[in-house]
Amino acid sequence: MKTPLFFLRARKALPLLALLLAACSSAPPVPRHEADLGLPRRIHVIERAAGQPSLDRMLVVQQIGPASRWSLFDPLGVPLARQLLQNGQWRSEGLLPPNAAARALFAELIFAWMPQDQLDAAYGPDAWRAQTLPDGRRVRLFLGSGGSDCAPRWTVAWPAAPAPRNAFTITQSDGTSWLVSPLRGQP
């Protein structure tokens, strides 16, 4: 029995498709160079995912010598993730198991907090886009190593003035969003 032509072509195209998808979806990126992120920061994040209840989190980011420490807590103060970022490498700190979702959030926050004039050097000129919408909202898209050939891995959106400049929303490609704002009583 002969194999249909469609299946032969599909079999040849699978490796190319896998390469394209790998370029568009890889581990959360780390900038090529350190940036001044205005540390320390203490923020409130609310995770919203379709069909799931909203989850409140607290994040503390501080400079510890040459590294930055990223500590994510639930509302009762129970640690959910603790990571150190040093020389472009993440490593776990303490006895907490790896938390891929938290590490992705940390990478997204670095992108959001990085000054726009440093993004080309940090990620490459084809890895991101930014625009100001007619209503005054600012939007920054992270495309990743696949550049403009990929859908954005995440989008950061700041509301129009007079909303606080340090409050924003991160929306991941799967529709999960994080509402980010300083903890009350913080500058």
The more confident residue out of 21 and 50 is 50
Mean pLDDT in the chain?
83
Gap between the Cα atoms of 70 and 79, Å rounded: 11
Identify the band that residue 120 occupies on the pLDDT scale cut at 50, 70 and 90.
very high
Q: Is the pLDDT of residue 94 over 70?
A: yes
Q: Is the pLDDT of residue 177 over 90?
A: yes
Identify the band that residue 114 occupies on the pLDDT scale cut at 50, 70 and 90.
very high
Gap between the Cα atoms of 13 and 73, Å rounded: 44
The pLDDT value recorded for residue 72 is 96
Q: Provide the residue type at 174 as one letter.
A: D
Average pLDDT rounded to a whole number, residues 48-70: 94
Gap between the Cα atoms of 41 and 38, Å rounded: 7
